[in-house]
Chain A
């Protein structure tokens, strides 16, 4: 709806924490977390990433996060998998 948003992203080498999770080299990146941030929420999807051609596959979602800022400003309660909220956003994105 034209509301200002901020995009951010972060790479990961694997689905679970390992020694190079914080700063994976390009060749080791397998997943990219893409976030959309508005005043009201932060929505993140962690999708498969191919470092050879820099492509992100948004059909291959490894995990998702959704935090509503009004009720959860510290982003502690991930409601991505809750039926009402998560479904709404999955449909949109």
Chain B
């Protein structure tokens, strides 16, 4: 009667992961999840900014249909009463739960994360979320700032914790409640990091000595980049440490050493996130739910780490639109596990020796985040929503993406065939 679903959505995570071939990052737990999953190496968001991307993939509609290009409208009022992935699962007998940042907060999700439409109970937000942009970063002078680069002593933080640590604790609590109640569930966990500010437990810096951190391969503004395509990364310019650098607008470059510090902190934040994901998946094992739960891991969009002289996401470049996307489906992406067998034992990023990243199945076919809705419906054995007509403002349930389950068991040759045997773009064109 259908699997449970655990969907993990990470804020501003580009595929800086060992399983995606990054040799610097330490992400053992996400790599382990990938080794048991189907991993898509060419997955793209439809718009590289928080609310528009999340509303798009959660409703299965493109931005031109949600008509949300900024943060200031609610699709059910502004465009159409579109159903969402969690709403559809809720209507099909699931208990749907949201922890952390799944919908973007504010008017774009009706100030309620689209509750009660999408969720069976009020969404959980960590109490320390409100300090995210406060002056909590200790500067060299000992004073507190609202910096971009913000490694912290967690014991000094408000509540002696951080939002994603609280989210993991709440998600684990909910997993145990679902297990006790034998309730079929759809649990969405939204992690805030590595979204700016890059605020993470300072011990993660040890994983990335600054001398090992390089600049982006192309840290300059490309000569023939149209001015309209460039994004001037205004948000990070407002952080205290960046503001103090007085970089000229719009094309001035950050000092190289500071660029390396940003990249160092992004990687450190990714390992901190990997730890949280590891604890969450370990709890799935503990609750005996790994054999009956589909796990999806993805992000709302990527982030520029200095490429093209850019920081942030606000563009159509691959570094901003490409996202990790992987599906663990018990019995499909792995053979079924025996009762009690551990699928996701927690791996400590500080001690786990990374010799070879475990390999799962990866597909390099180009796919879109807007396909998540039909794909999840098909994987859970629900009726796959119909394809939307050309204009679908009046249609509550349909999708503008195509299920990608057909690629799960497709051989590489079959995927290539889908490319119509076109090995020479110009010849075919």
Contact = CB atoms under 8 A, between A and B. Distances in A.
Interface of A: 1-12, 14-26, 29, 31-33, 35, 37-42, 44, 46, 54, 56, 62-65, 74-81, 88, 92
Contacts of A7: 46, 62, 368
Interface of B: 42-49, 62-64, 67, 69-73, 217-218, 222, 224-235, 249-251, 307-308, 312, 314-318, 321, 364-368, 418-420, 422, 425-426, 428-429
Given A8-B316, A23-B49, A25-B70, A39 B227 contact: no
Contacts of A64: 226
B222 A78 contact: yes
6 contacts: A14-B228, A23-B234, A23-B314, A37-B366, A44-B229, A76-B218
Given A4-B418, A54-B67, A10 B315 contact: yes
A78 B224 contact: yes
A26 B46 CA distance: 17
Contacts of A78: 222, 224-226
Contact of A31 (B64, B228, B249, B426): B228
A10 B314 contact: yes
Q: Name, among B70, B230, B312, the residue most crowded by chain A CB atoms within 10 Å (CB to CB).
A: B70
Contacts of A29: 69
The 5 closest A-B pairs by CB, nearest first: A63-B226, A17-B250, A6-B44, A78-B224, A22-B314
Contacts of A75: 222, 308, 317-318
Given A17-B250, A26-B73, A54-B64, A74 B316 contact: no
Contacts of A79: 224
A39 to B, nearest CB: 6
Contacts of A24: 69-70
Contact of B228 (A3, A33, A38, A88): A33
Given A17-B251, A22-B314, A65-B316, 5 more contacts: A4-B419, A22-B232, A33-B316, A37-B366, A56-B64
A20 to B, nearest CB: 8
B70 A23 contact: yes
B233 A22 contact: yes
B69 A11 contact: yes
Contacts of B420: 1-3
A41 B425 contact: yes
